[in-house]
Structures are given as C-alpha cells and as structure tokens.
Structure 1
Amino acid sequence: MRSDCYGRQPLLTLMRKRTLDLKEGYRQNLALLGSLHVGKSTLLKQYLAELDEPGILPVYLDLENRDLRYFASKLVRSLLYHVAKAKGLPVSEDLETLIATVRPVLPVAAEEVARLQALVQEGKCTEAFEGLLDLPDRFTNGTGLFCVLILDEFQALEGYGVADIFKKLADRIMAQKNCLYIIASSFEEQARRILSERLTLLFGNFELVPVEPFDLKVSQEFIEKRMGGIKVGLQLRHFLSDFTGGRPLYLDLILQELTSLSATFRQQEIYTPLMAQAIENMLFDRWGALSRHFELIVGRLCSGRTNRLTMDILMALAGGHHRVNDMVTKLGAKKTPVIHKLAMLVDEDVVERNGTHFHVKDKLFRYWIKYVFQKRLETIELEPGRLKKEFKEEVGRAISAFHATSRRDLPTRVTELLSCFDREQLRLQGRRYELPRFEEIRAVKIRQRSGGAVDALEAQTSEGKWLLVLRKDPMIESDIGAIVEEVRTMPDRPKRCVIVSLSELDEAARLRALEERMWIWNEPEINALMNLFDKPYIVP
C-alpha cells in the first residue's frame, strides 16, 4: 500500500464493502469530502488498484480543469476497455479498435458510442452529456456486469456548459441501480450545497464520508516509515505532526528534504537545527516546494487591485482575529465587503467557519501567511538575508515552544484553552456548543471510590460554575458514578459538567455520562478546539 494511504484502511474497507453490496442488490453511493492534499485521489486510486472483483466495470474520471471532451473520451474508453477485458477479448488504448472489438458483444452500445463522439465533436454539449450519462446503464444491462463510476472533484461539472447538469446527473443516479457512484470533492462547502440542493435524490442518496488529515498516531507511523533508518526523536515527530496539521503532502515534502539534508551532512539522527533548515528550505525559500505552492494559492485568491481586502483578511485571520467585528476593527474596513470576502474564502475551502468563528483551515498555510508572506509584504529589507535569518530563528522558537508546551500537564493546557473562550458558538463533531467567557479558572481534585483523586477544573462564569473533569487514561462507568456522587455533595453545584478524556470512554461510561447530561470531549474535540484557537495539539 502506498505510504500516503496509511490510516485509510477503514475507508478502503468501506469502499470495497459498498462494491460487494452493489453485486448483492444493495446500492449505497458514497461522497468523499476533504480538503486539498489530504489524499482523496490517492485513496481512490488505491481502491482501484486493489479492486480485484469479477463483474465490475470501474471508471475513474478526474474532472478538475477538464472539459466535456475529456469526460466523453475517458468514460467511453474505460467502459469499452473493461468490457473487453471482462469478456476475454483483446484490449487496446485506441478508441476505434475498442469499438470494433466490443461491437459483436454490444452492437447497439457501440453504435451509440460513435454517435456520442460525433455530438461532442459538433459541440452539442447538452445532448452529448445526457447520452454519456446513459452509457453505464447501457453497458451494464447489455453485459450483466456492474459499474463503479468515480467522479473526482465532481463539483467541476458545473463548468461544462450544460444547463441543469446536476439535475441530469441526479436523474441518472436514481435510475441506474447497477451503477455505484463514488464522488469526491476538495471544496466541502460547495459540495455540500450541491448535494443538499441539486443532487437530492429519492433513491440512491449519498453517504457522506469525511477524509481527514492524518491523526497524530498515523502521522507518527508515516514519519517513521518514510525516514527509514534515520532517527527522528519523539518530540520532533510530535512537532512535525502538529506543524503540518497531518497533511500527507506537507509531511512527505518536508521528510524528503530532511532525508536529503541528512545525506548531505551525514547525520543519521535529526536534531532541531536540521529540522529548522528543512522547514526554511521548503517554506521560506522562493523556490521551495511549499513556498511556491502557497504563493500560487495567494496569487489565485488575491490577484487584482480589488482583492487587496482578501489578502488583508487572510493576514488578520493568521494573526488571531477570528470574528467578523474583530477583523473589521483591525482592518478599518466596512463590514459588508469583509463578510462577502469571507464567504468567498469559505467557498474556496481556504477558510472554515465554525459558528461565529473563522479560521484559515490549513494550519501550515496559516503559519506561512503570518511568518513568511506578511513579513515580506510589510518589511523593507535593507540588510540582505535578515528576513531569512529571522525566519530560521522563528522556527527554532516554534520548536522550543512546542516542546515546552507539550511538557505542561493536562490541567494547565486546558486552562489555557478555556481562557480563550469569549461567548463562542461552535460545532464539534456535529454537535453545537455555547462556550461562555470564564472569569476565573482553578484546579481542583475529584475524589474517587478507590480513595484516589482525579484532576478537574472549576471555571466560573457570570451565570454559574462549570466543572471539567480531566483524564488521560480510559474511564469506566464507576468513574462516572464517583464524579456524579462528588458533584451532588458540592454546596455550589456546577451548571455544566464536562468530561475531558484523551482516551475513549467505554460504552457504559459514555451512556451514564450522557444520562447525567454531561458533555464529553475526547481527543478529536479537544484538539479541534486547540486548532481553532491556534494552539498546539495535546499529545495523548
């Protein structure tokens, strides 16, 4: 399996299961949604590479920056090729040869292919597209085979010049019971809007499958495997996982640079200076791969005089201004244009909105904006090399600060997080939360039946007290019971009780906590909050 498919086994298993379900008469279409560079296309190609199921016609269409000619050519060739292969006929890359080969088996479908090719050449887009969408049904009905049609970056269909294109697609999806549709998109806001407004189906609705960056555990495995015999200490591995936000592309590029530097300096262990040098080469140098990548993004978003506001908003967000009113004050801009630009950035999947909170979605891009792009824009460099030197020093400070922060205990880390709340309205793992401003936070201990005690925080708001119970190790039902008993003996009972556990609660403990109307924040929730407020992840 490819290295950037680490941690994706559950998703590969799900796609294989849906393929087998299709042959059994049950069809559940899939929609893979995730940001750029989290590995969706790699995942889809790995699924196809491992697909060894007889009776399946697989079709993969990468629609980004393509047109109807590509759509027609790739769809037709794929169907003809796999029919020929399934029937034991000679296969070829040449379209005319494939049509001639398949014609004895599917004479009507072969003639239809020729007709559609002519329509595409004549520029009759709508008629051609409708006919192309009917092809999977023609091929499956004529052969007894099943089709898996993958539309990567499916939202790009909108630019194909076909009126009501998604309604036409929805009609075919509902009718084609022998075709499994797997769609993918890097633009989650656009994709969800299309799915909810224009691909709403009576039959064959899509199961939404999030494709997230690597979590901390998978990032560690990826680093170890990618570096081979070159040692990277635990703290630096944790730093790099956090610094890149777990995005496979970023990890891979920095690790490639580390491998090269290790060979140049003949070092078999990576220390902070070499890590800082690799990051400088990738992020600061004008021709560094990640620097060029981010510059192209900014160029696309901010080109033209009227888009200076977009640039200013990105810098404000990277600088920690997360609310509309804060940005308006910081920029001295009018509120309406700021809201419009933010909506555009959300649509482009560059900025994420969570309640009233906006932030740059890509953690490394956020860092580059603040410490590279903004510095270049605002600094007059009279001393050559000064900005480069300052950047390397900044990376060194970031590594040191991460090490210092990661050594702090859980109560301290959570206290720092709570101090950032200011009447927030956020969603975590699909659930809505209202988080007040805490006026005072103090560490306490909660007694257990065993005689021990667990760490907790009492956080005072203007409307009452919150109790946050903190655990790194697993909790069982009796632990929840002990917390409930202790809370009941408190003269000033808390308005809200939150279980912050870096390990998953067992099912009985979870049910008991929910019965007691407690909130449960596991590692995904607590680290999502850390990311929202620009703080390093908590390492379990």
Structure 2
Amino acid sequence: MIDTQTPVTGDEFFDRSETLKRLLITGRNYALIGLRKSGKTSILYEFEKRLKKPDTIPVHIYLLFSETERSFLTKYAAAVLYSFLERTETAITEPRENLNDLIVKTIERLPALTSDLIAVLNELDKKPDIGIASRIFDIPYLLSRHTGNTSIIILDEFQVVRNFNIDMIDLLRQKIQTQRGVYYVVAGSAIGMMQGILTSSASPLFGHFEILSVGSFDYNWSRCFVTTHLHRSGLVIGEKLLNFLIAASGGFPYYLAVLADRIIEYCNTGSIKQVNQKAITHAFDRDVFDTSGKIFVYFTDSLENTFQRRNIGFHIEILKAIASGSTKQSQIARYTTKMPQELSRPLRFLERTGFVTRNGVEYFMTDPMLKMWLSVAYPLQMELSFIKDGKRLDAFDRKIEEMIATYKRELGKGSESRVRELFRDFGGLELHHTKLPKFTEVEQRVIDGNEF
C-alpha cells in the first residue's frame, strides 16, 4: 500500500537531493515554486527531518485556500509557540491551535515575554490590521532574542496571502530586513503568482529569496519510483507500459503513486505478477474517471479552490479548449463562443496559476494528466451524464486503450528513426582497423524467423 495522501519522508522520499542540499544551507531565505502535487511539501518535511541543528527551530505553516487574515495570524502565532515549546521539551497540550494554553506555557518558560504575548492574545479578538499582524510576526524574533535560537518559518502555499486585505508581503519584507535569527522558506504552486511576488522588480520581496524550482521527476527518477513500488509487491512491468505511465503522468510523483497503488491492488486481487494493459486501464478507471477517484477528486477540488472567486465554468471551458487542441486565442474563442478580447484576462490568470503555459501566440496545458482528464474524463462524467454509466466507462476505456496503442506506435517510430540515424552516423566509421559500410538506405521489416 502506497501512502498517497500525506507527504512522504525517509525511505519513501525520492530524488530532490540538490534542492535539499540548498535548503540545508541555512541562514538564507528560500522559495520553492512548482506545480501542485510536484512534491514541494514532501521536500519541506524531509528538510525538517534532516535539519540536525539543536538551536534551529523549523515552524511549518500550511495556508489553506480558504484562509482569512484572522485564521492565518492565529495559526502563525500558535505554530511558532508550539514549535518552540516542543523543541524545548515543555509539556504541551493539544490541539496545536489552542493559542491560550500555548501563550501561558511560553510565559511560564520566558516571563520576559509576558506583556508582548498578552497583548497579542488580546488583540486577536479585534479585527486584524497591519499593527496586529506586525506584532504576531515579531514573535519568532522575540523568542530568538531571548533564547539565542534561530527560527525557520515555512509558509506552504504562500501565494494565498495575496487574498488578504492586509499587505502581508510588504510586512514580511520589513521583518526580513530588520529581524535577526529568523529566516523564511516559502512554497507555492501558483507559479505565475509566486514569480510575481518574488521576482518582479516592483515587488517588495524582490531579491530577498533564492528561488528553487520544483518540477516533476525526470524520466530516470520516474522509472525508479514506479519500479521500486511495484517490485516491493513482487510485480514487474514491461518497458512500453512503464513508459506510457510516465508519459501520461508527466512524471508527477502524486499521479505515479496513485496509479501504481491501484495497479498493485488490481494485480494482487487477481494473483497477477506481470502488469498488463488491463491493470493500467483499471487504474485510470478507478482514479481518473471515477468521480470518487483520488485524481478526479484532486482535480475538482483544485479547480474549485483556484476559481472560487471567479467564473469557474468559463475558466474550465477555456482549459477544455486548450486541452482539446485549441491552442491559439482565436481557436479558444471559437470553442468557447466568446470574443477573443474576452479571453485575455482569463488566459493571463490561467498562466499565473500554472495551469497553462504560453509559447508565443499559443497556449498549452502544463500538466499532461490534467489535459487528459479535461479532454476525456471530465466531459464524459460531467456533461454526458444522461448516457448510462457503463457506456461512458466503455468510451473512456476505449480512449485509454487508444492512447496506449498510439504511444506504442509512436515509441516504435522513434526507435526506428533512431536506429536509422545511428546506421547513417556510423557508416564509414573505422573500427578495429575495419571500415564500416556506408548505408544509403535503412528500412524496417517484420520477420517471423523463417528467413534464418
């Protein structure tokens, strides 16, 4: 069984050694930027696990899409105090968000902070403003000044602060410039927004963070990830099906983990040792097509959270257009029956979220799994619900089988062209005092063995 719902660490952690190496050089501010489910939170968890500095306290704060100023500031204060008390082996109560108890125990340990912490507690009952936020952002600095410890504040899904009425971005700049002993690691999946916050020369945080890009696994790490999990369950998989899984998932660890877990379940149930095409199709059926499947639910939640303050239907139509091959603004306009000029702002927003990548005048889906889901699974489930379930599933299965067959053909063509290229490159090459012949023509033929 593969844990696909929580970030992994230890033996389950794959790749990312260079990113971890940078993060472990403490004393700097870092920003991890990458698409959703690319493994940013796993990297942060592994970083906390490997951080072997007794005087350095990591504080991990995950920002929800629905976060408000009050909930964020309460969570920030509670997380900082909880992490300090835990590191100093003070008996602490749960839950972590019980700020009153945390303040009392911190005051018992550091009486010098009594007035500051009581003021914070009293002010949180009021409407949050920049003054209250500033005092809460001072808590890790006060702890550092009185204990000599260093705090590393980890803000996961940092772009959420742009939704607040309080300018947290400029406030963070002020604290970074004036506080000693406090460093920040921020992470975000809305790539364009994060880049705007951190790399735009007009942004208050410009130049204050070292940017670390987090992408999907490369081909070799994708292979390692899938085969390791399959081998643990006594399963083997052929090259073509393995490569199809990697291509369809784009190498994103979450998709690979979900599909591999479902394949293992299918094979174990049928006492199958060699992963076959039916196992692959079953995995896509259960997790990409089924409305309760992990990948289906992840996509619907992700889209709803991203577009909660916008016209979700309109934005999904634009994404469907791009996923279906309408890459130019004029083509997208025809697909959505909108005027081209109506699409400019939504397309810029989709770029900032990371769902879409622009290349010249064309737009492309960044995530191949989302592209397939929008062009195949979503229309069948959400727009053709009047068709019987079995027929919709059959249509989806045929599409997956067609994708696998197309992939195998294209893979074969790629191999054939590469062999042809090698024959021509090697022609005339001298090897062991023998010159290889020049090949003027190379062709592919299928033989049955009787020729020999």
* Structure with the bigger percentage of strand: 1
**C-alpha displacement at 1:380, in angstroms?**
8.2
CA distance in 2, matches of 1:269, 1:143: 58
Classify the secondary structure of the residue corresponding to 2:332.
Answer: helix
Classify the secondary structure of the residue corresponding to 1:385.
Answer: helix
Paired residues of 1:3 and 1:222 also in contact (CA < 8 A): no
Q: Which residue of 2 aligns with 1:57?
A: 57
**C-alpha displacement at 1:111, in angstroms?**
2.5
Q: 1:355 aligns with which of 354, 360, 378?
A: 360
**C-alpha displacement at 1:148, in angstroms?**
0.6
CA distance in 2, matches of 1:378, 1:124: 43
Aligned Cα RMSD in Å?
3.2
CA distance in 1, matches of 2:83, 2:381: 53
Structure 1 residue 250 and structure 2 residue 251: aligned? no
Aligned sequence identity (%): 22
Structure 1 residue 217 and structure 2 residue 225: aligned? no
CA distance in 2, matches of 1:110, 1:237: 60
Q: Which residue of 1 aligns with 2:152?
A: 148
Gaps of 5+ in 1: 23-27, 416-442, 456-540
**C-alpha displacement at 1:112, in angstroms?**
0.8
Q: CA 1:310–1:282 in structure 2 vs 1: closer, same or farther (change >3 Å)? A: same
Question: Which letter maps to 1:191?
Answer: M
**C-alpha displacement at 1:241, in angstroms?**
0.9
CA distance in 2, matches of 1:143, 1:384: 63
Structure 1 residue 11 and structure 2 residue 19: aligned? yes
Q: CA 1:52–1:445 in structure 2 vs 1: closer, same or farther (change >3 Å)? A: closer
Q: Which residue of 2 aligns with 1:292?
A: 297
Q: Which residue of 2 aligns with 1:200?
A: 204
Classify the secondary structure of the residue corresponding to 1:258.
Answer: helix
Paired residues of 2:289 and 2:296 also in contact (CA < 8 A): yes
Question: Which letter maps to 1:8?
Answer: R
Question: Which letter maps to 1:80?
Answer: L
Q: CA 1:383–1:146 in structure 2 vs 1: closer, same or farther (change >3 Å)? A: closer
Q: Give me the TM-score of the superposition, normalised by structure 2.
A: 0.82
Per-residue CA deviation, residues 255-288 of structure 1 (Å, 9 max, x unaligned), is 1211111122111221111211221122222322
Question: Which letter maps to 1:66?
Answer: E
CA distance in 2, matches of 1:205, 1:4: 32
Q: 1:132 aligns with which of 105, 116, 136?
A: 136
Paired residues of 1:109 and 1:135 also in contact (CA < 8 A): no
Gaps of 5+ in 2: 1-8, 439-452
Paired residues of 1:72 and 1:117 also in contact (CA < 8 A): no
CA distance in 2, matches of 1:86, 1:370: 49
Structure 1 residue 386 and structure 2 residue 391: aligned? yes
Deviates more, 1:148-157 or 1:328-337: 328-337
**C-alpha displacement at 1:179, in angstroms?**
1.4
Q: CA 1:396–1:297 in structure 2 vs 1: closer, same or farther (change >3 Å)? A: same
CA distance in 2, matches of 1:84, 1:377: 49
Structure 1 residue 167 and structure 2 residue 170: aligned? yes
Q: 1:180 aligns with which of 166, 175, 183?
A: 183
CA distance in 2, matches of 1:90, 1:304: 42
Paired residues of 1:352 and 1:361 also in contact (CA < 8 A): yes
Q: CA 1:405–1:33 in structure 2 vs 1: closer, same or farther (change >3 Å)? A: same
Q: Which residue of 1 aligns with 2:194?
A: 191
Paired residues of 2:169 and 2:204 also in contact (CA < 8 A): no
Paired residues of 1:119 and 1:127 also in contact (CA < 8 A): no
**C-alpha displacement at 1:69, in angstroms?**
4.0
CA distance in 1, matches of 2:387, 2:83: 63
Q: Which residue of 2 aligns with 1:66?
A: 67
**C-alpha displacement at 1:72, in angstroms?**
3.6
Question: Which letter maps to 2:293?
Answer: G
Q: Which residue of 1 aligns with 2:320?
A: 315
Question: Which letter maps to 2:61?
Answer: L
Paired residues of 1:119 and 1:125 also in contact (CA < 8 A): no
Structure 1 residue 263 and structure 2 residue 264: aligned? no
**C-alpha displacement at 1:194, in angstroms?**
1.6
Question: Which letter maps to 1:12?
Answer: L
CA distance in 2, matches of 1:305, 1:345: 12
**C-alpha displacement at 1:62, in angstroms?**
0.8
CA distance in 2, matches of 1:300, 1:79: 27
Classify the secondary structure of the residue corresponding to 2:204.
Answer: coil
Q: Which residue of 1 aligns with 2:42?
A: 42
Matches within 5 A, 1:402-441: 402-409=407-414, 412=417
Paired residues of 2:58 and 2:83 also in contact (CA < 8 A): yes
**C-alpha displacement at 1:409, in angstroms?**
3.4
Q: Which residue of 1 aligns with 2:115?
A: 111
